[in-house]
Chains A and B, each alone.
Chain A
Amino acid sequence: MAKAFKYGLKGITGYLEPAERELLRSLIDDVISMLEPADSTSEDPLTALIGLDMDVQEPSDRALRRLLPNVMKNDGAASLEFRQLTERSLRENKIGALRAAALGLDTNELVLSPADARHWSQALNDVRLVLAERLDIRDDADAEHVHTMQDWSQAEDVESYLALVYNFTTWLQESLVQAMLQSMEPRG
């Protein structure tokens, strides 16, 4: 079983079993593939250089829309304009954090630098946002319902399996963030 992240002399440390690392790796890969631009081969090199993407649209997938939200609540046109300027680098930033976290999944014993920890917390958060959309978590009551699924022997269909995976990543992120908050406290 995984151990909760802790803050100590070596920094932030954790422990994951091989099967848990495999699970996280595949979850992270899924999110990376969602975030990678659809056809980067045919694109204008100037577009790539300056990061401006005039072809970008608001994502139709709900999970992707949650990862890359509109910047204005009630102004689709202004949000789209902003998206053209920023979405590409936001995707790259997220992919960078996800890749960095995946790289750390090569050993059971995890020792995270402050930068690693930040990448991990971002990556786990994005993984959870995507899982939550797949699980249709819309409000606190939905979240509470999913949270009651804690027993792996109950995993009898895709939804209950997803719920257990979601709860595992929630637990892992919570322990990581607690360790990060501790590491920020002034000592002595």
Chain B
Amino acid sequence: MTLSVALGPDTQESTQTGTVTSTDALTAPDIPWNLVIWNDPVNLMSYVSYVFQSYFGYSEPKANKLMMEVHKKGRSIVAHGSKEQVEQHAVAMHGFGLWATVEKATGGGKDGGSGKGKGKRG
């Protein structure tokens, strides 16, 4: 299995900044939240990688890297976004049987994926 790749540059938001509209800020200050996947002894490594690829649309190397991080470190941040976004992802992960929780991003945490979780690829 592809074990890891060099820490992805993962150009944070660089392509998205043009679309920011600050005026319709109904959704309160945009505090980032993390989606965390926890290790468990049951879920197959292949299945976890499949879920990351099919649900988030992550490449195979990225999915495998996050999966190995879950496996070795016990947890990995696999996506972040607004509270609502990561909660939606968490429910989807529970649907797949993965053990997912959400948490407020504490800042400085650079571990895990930078994925914004684009949602289903269909």
* Residues on A facing B (Cβ under 8 Å): 66-73, 82, 86, 89-90, 93-94, 97, 118, 121-122, 125-126, 128-129, 132, 137-140, 142-143, 170, 173-174, 177-178, 180-181, 184
Contacts and interface: CB of A to CB of B under 8 A. Distances in A.
B100 A184 contact: no
Contacts of A122: 95-97
Given A143-B42, A177-B50, A180-B50, A82 B97 contact: no
A174 B1 CA distance: 14
Interface of B: 36, 40-44, 46-47, 49-50, 53-54, 87, 90-91, 94-97, 99-103
Contact of B91 (A70, A86, A125): A86
A118 B97 CA distance: 12
Contacts, number: 75
Given A139-B41, A142-B41, A143-B41, A71 B46 contact: no
Nearest to B95: A93
24 contacts: A67-B97, A68-B94, A71-B87, A72-B103, A73-B36, A82-B87, A86-B87, A89-B91, A93-B95, A94-B95, A97-B95, A121-B47, A122-B97, A125-B43, A128-B42, A132-B41, A137-B42, A139-B41, A142-B41, A173-B47, A177-B47, A178-B46, A180-B50, A184-B54
Contacts of B101: 69-73
A176 to B, nearest CB: 9
Nearest to A142: B41
Contact of B99 (A69, A121, A174): A69
Nearest to B42: A132
Contacts of A125: 43, 47, 96-97
A138 B44 contact: no
A130 to B, nearest CB: 10
A182 to B, nearest CB: 11
